Amino acid sequence: MPDQMSRPLIRDRGEGGGSRHLEASMSEAGAPVIGILGTGDFSRSLARRLVASGYQVVVGSRNPKRSAALFPEEAEVTSQLEAASQADLVFVAVFPEHHSTLVELKPTLAGKTLVDVSNGLRINRGGPSNAEQLADLFPESCVVKGFNTISAWALQMGPRDGSRQIFLCGNSSRAKSSVMQLCRGMGFVPVDMGLLSSSLEIENLPLYLFPSWRVPIICTLSLFLFFYMYNFLRDVLQPYIMDGHNVFYKMPIELVNVTLPCVSLVMLSLVYLPGLCAAFLQLWWGTKYNRFPNWLDRWLTRRKQFGLCSFLCAALHAIYSLCLPLRKSARYKLLLAAQEIGEKTDVWNDSEVWRMELYLSVGIMALGLLALLAVTSLPSVGNAVNWREFSFIQSTLGYCALSMATLHTLLFGWDRAFKRAQYRFCLPPTFMLVLVLPVLVLLGRLALLLPCVARRLGQIRRGWERNRHIRFTLPDDCRNGLEDISDV
């Protein structure tokens, strides 16, 4: 490496660049010189972040004169060979298919830390990863995989606008430590993922498309299609076939509005059903040390997504309901109703008035509790409460929301379940189908709250096992694990 003391503090860019370059003595004492090979969007954002963090940056380009204007004045843009010679730590920010063009830098990069920030075009399950290929290409260098899960925009704006975590892996502890120190200096939080063999997993992370949302979204869409077609058969097709009454205008608004709460209530029930299944399995096994089935394990980890889908459907139902009076059809129906009433003076129906008042009040309370659950599930909000508070909101208030939503549906049904006219095409009213799952969940919750069941489940979750004859009794004032017995 050239003698650092023999170079001037400020000099012009190489290759005719007109901007100035600040040397290492202008930055923090002992700070390493950071090299970047490549001049793409990510390289420019990385250079800006490093310069703003007080590091000396040298950028290697195949055409330094053309690329100089794209980088901050404090960063030196020079040839790739010169950048590799000056830098102590080098970011390889070129596409994987161009790694072979850097082979001539192998002697210069020997013994240095190379940070591979590349990603693949598609999910790679067989390997090898880009970082492993780079390590094979530069066997005398220490390759660290990192910075590939953060976007150029988030990197440029800083950790306040992007994820603070940077996943890193590498075979050299010294190289990883230096990159971790660099991450902290830039304001990010490094996460050590182990050896370089983990780089394939890190490279696949940015390519997944909502992996935890796939099943909840498919379930939501499937339920929506089922209930929409069920309501279409009962409310649109049956009047048209039996009486020749055309009500197809209901399809865009009214049918959707009737379908959304059905989906929301079933999805909310699916949030708490796996916890009940897990609790009853532990009671059946008499131990907490048996592993849950894979389907139940995956279901438990996706409860948050199920709950957010439920909240989305509930919020859309509220918006659709507010828009119902704005329709032309609603205005015509109001005029026709007024004409039919005519001279009648006694049109007040106490039963219907009370039903609607209670129906709306309980529905608003259910939506409010769902909104609280959705907000608390956000990481920024969840981190502001302790585990007891979070469990109380998500479990206790969650069951309150489920109870309110179930009562909202019961008030909608009122006495309609006992009217023969409601069984069109011999199909029961929609709300009767919807109530099956939430009622079962609420009954299961009540069963777990029975003192004998709750105490045994609490003992199991504190280590008691039926087959090993381990016996102990819980203190009378010990309630940990008994308040949220179905929360796994």
Looking at residue 397, its pLDDT comes to 95
pLDDT at 2 over 90: no
Note the pLDDT tens digit of each residue in 381-407: 888 899 999 999 999 999 999 999 999
Query: Each residue of 103-130: pLDDT tens digit?
Result: 999 999 999 999 999 998 899 988 899 9
pLDDT given at position 30: 61
User: Other CB atoms closer than 10 Å to residue 334's CB: what's the count?
Assistant: 11
pLDDT confidence of residue 299: 96
Predicted local confidence at residue 343, as pLDDT: 60
Most confident range, picked from 111-115, 126-130, 244-248, 338-342: 111-115
Q: How confident is the model at residue 486 (pLDDT cuts 50, 70, 90)?
A: very low
**Least confident range of 112-121, 221-230, 345-354, 383-392:** 345-354
Query: In which band, very low, low, confident or very high, does the pLDDT at 220 lie, cut at 50, 70 and 90?
Result: very high
Flag whether pLDDT at 470 surpasses 70: no
Q: Return mean pLDDT, the chain.
A: 87
Q: Which pLDDT belongs to residue 176?
A: 96
Res. 10: pLDDT tops 70: no
Higher pLDDT, residue 414 or 285: 285
In this structure, the number of other CB atoms found within 10 A of the CB of residue 144 comes to 28
Confidence check: pLDDT of 202 > 80: yes
Cβ–Cβ < 8 Å for 101, 77: no
Q: Which residues contact 433 (CB under 8 A, 6 or more apart)?
A: 227, 230, 262
With a cut of 70, say whether residue 15 has pLDDT above it: no
User: 138 with 107: CB under 8 angstroms?
Assistant: no
Residue 315: what pLDDT? 97
Q: How far apart are CA 315 and CA 367, in angstroms?
A: 7
24-33, 127-136, 253-262, 306-315: the lowest-pLDDT one: 24-33
Is residue 466 very low, low, confident or very high in pLDDT (cuts 50, 70, 90)?
confident
Q: Quote the percentage of the chain above a pLDDT of 70.
A: 87
pLDDT of residue 371: 96
- With CA atoms as reference, report the closest residue to 413 among 435, 439, 441: 435
pLDDT tens, 439-463? 999 999 999 999 999 999 999 999 8
Asked if omega into 428 is within 30° of 0 (cis), the reply is no
Is the model's pLDDT at 22 over the cut of 60? no
The mean pLDDT value for 46-56 works out to 92
User: Does residue 101 register a pLDDT over 50?
Assistant: yes
Quote the pLDDT of residue 17: 41
For residue 239, CA distances in Å to 162, 256, 328 come to 54, 18, 20
Q: Does residue 114 sit in helix, strand or coil?
A: strand
3-state secondary structure of 177: helix
Q: Which residue has the tokens 């532990």?
A: 282
- Mean pLDDT to the nearest integer, 224-234: 96
**Residue 22 contacts residue 10 (beta carbons within 8 Å):** yes
For the cut 60, the answer to whether the pLDDT of residue 369 exceeds it is: yes
- Give the torsion sign (CA, 53, 54, 58, 61): positive
Q: Measure the N-to-C terminal CA separation of the chain; round to a whole number of Å.
A: 58
Tokens for 354?
A: 């009370």
